[in-house]
């Protein structure tokens, strides 16, 4: 498989590489050949700093099923966080 | 016992627009003459499999050069560099054509060359091999392994890949070998049918071999896609085709 499934979005935050923490500029999500996971295709997520060299990357390669679980968990955590933030704004 | 030996090393060559890029070269020792082969690396990068494959061709008597199509993304481990290229939306087709032409020029400058040059590539490089063979008159054979997105939808076109390679079929300048797995999803068997129909339409010299029980990347012995029987037969097809079109012995 040689897909063109790639989603690139801006990212603000930090990620920890083998060399230490880096500031992030982008998150890159794709479905294509993994490098390490023993799968034919994987959801790969790279958190990168595009202004630094190729090693400025935090990478994961997930099965489609575990990527779906991650996506749902992310959505639940974000929803809970937004409720928390709304409450904080009301208190302020 | 006949003496065997090779030199394998990284070098700098002139890539697209004369810009220096890195390349991995493997060449048999001896006076030659040897045929030449450009070995284009796949989307996962300028990696160990491609180093091994470049040396494999040298073992079989070819001067082989694998240009680093991701050179401009910077130094690093192959997977990190490939990820950076992916985050940048891939490499432009025009640049790949220029880098490949630079590799052919390097081969043609080697005194041991027999005057014949081919190009080999798998995955994204299968596509790029076909694309290059439609944009040059400088090669004598092309080997496309499971080239994904030779056939592209309008939605897949972008500034770096503005035209589907199949559109250039009329300009294919040399014999083409294609190997495909019938369980592949990029290219699908239907896309391979389209690819083949276009070659037939323009009266091009080609041979396609399609393997049951194989998907994408069935040569990669270190990945779950590996299929030993299909891969062994495929390698025979590759070496038979290259010998037929590049050997002068």
> What per-residue confidence (pLDDT) applies to A2?
67
- Tell me the pTM: 0.93
A72: distance to nearest CA of chain B, Å? 24
- Whether the CB-CB separation of B200 and B170 falls below 8 Å is answered with no
Residue A1: pLDDT above 90?
no
- Whether the CB-CB separation of B142 and B133 falls below 8 Å is answered with yes
In percent, the amount of chain B with pLDDT more than 70 equals 100
> What per-residue confidence (pLDDT) applies to B72?
97
Residue of A nearest to B73 (CA): A54
ipTM value: 0.86
Residue of A nearest to B186 (CA): A1
> What per-residue confidence (pLDDT) applies to B249?
77
Instruction: Decide yes or no: CATH 3.40.50.1820 for domain B6-246.
Output: yes
- Considering only the beta carbons, identify the residue of B43, B76, B223 that sits closest to A2: B43
**HEC states along B194-239?**
HHHHHHHHCCCCEEEEEECCCCCCCCCCCCCCCCHHHHHHHHHHHH
Residue A21: pLDDT above 70?
yes
Report chain A residues whose CB lies below 8 A from the CB of B121.
none
- Considering only the beta carbons, identify the residue of A1, A3, A46 that sits closest to B83: A46
For A39, the 3-state DSSP assignment is coil
Please list, in sequence order, all residues whose beta carbon lies within 8 angstroms of the beta carbon of residue B168, skipping any fewer than 6 positions away. B131, B134, B135
Mutation site, B80, B130, B183, B226, interface A, largest A CB count within 10 A: B80
Count Cα neighbours of B206 within 13 Å in the Cβ-side half-sphere.
Answer: 25
Mutation site, A1, A2, A34, A51, interface B, largest B CB count within 10 A: A2
């Amino acid at each position: 498989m040689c897909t063109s499934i790639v989603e690139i979005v801006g990212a603000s935050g930090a990620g920890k590489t083998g060399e230490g923490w880096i500031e992030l500029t982008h998150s890159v999500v794709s479905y294509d050949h993994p490098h390490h996971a023993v799968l034919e295709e994987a959801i790969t997520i790279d958190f990168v700093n595009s202004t630094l060299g190729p090693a400025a990357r935090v990478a994961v390669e997930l099965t489609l099923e575990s990527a779906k679980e991650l996506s749902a968990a992310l959505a639940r955590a974000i929803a809970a966080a937004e409720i928390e933030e709304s409450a904080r704004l009301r208190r302020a | 016992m006949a003496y065997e030996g090779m030199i394998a090393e990284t070098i700098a060559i002139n890539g697209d627009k004369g810009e220096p890029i890195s390349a991995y070269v493997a060449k048999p020792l001896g006076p030659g003459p040897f045929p030449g082969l450009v070995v284009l690396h796949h989307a996962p990068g300028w990696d160990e499999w491609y180093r091994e494959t470049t040396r494999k061709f040298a073992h079989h008597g070819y001067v082989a050069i694998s240009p680093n199509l991701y050179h401009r993304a910077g130094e690093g481990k192959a997977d990190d560099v490939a990820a950076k290229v992916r985050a940048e939306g891939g490499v432009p087709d025009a640049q790949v054509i220029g880098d490949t032409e630079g590799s052919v020029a390097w081969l043609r400058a080697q005194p041991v060359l027999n005057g014949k040059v081919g190009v080999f590539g798998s995955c994204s490089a299968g596509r790029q091999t076909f694309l290059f063979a439609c944009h040059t008159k400088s090669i004598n054979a092309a080997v496309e392994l499971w080239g994904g997105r030779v056939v592209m939808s309008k939605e897949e076109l972008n500034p770096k890949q503005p035209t589907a390679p199949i559109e250039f079929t009329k300009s294919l300048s040399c014999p083409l070998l294609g190997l495909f797995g019938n369980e592949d999803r990029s290219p699908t068997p239907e896309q391979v049918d389209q690819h083949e129909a276009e070659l037939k339409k323009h009266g091009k010299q080609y041979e396609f071999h399609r393997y049951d029980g194989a998907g994408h990347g069935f040569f990669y012995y270190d990945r779950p896609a590996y299929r030993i029987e299909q891969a062994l037969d495929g390698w025979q097809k590759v070496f038979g085709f290259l010998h037929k079109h590049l050997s002068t012995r």
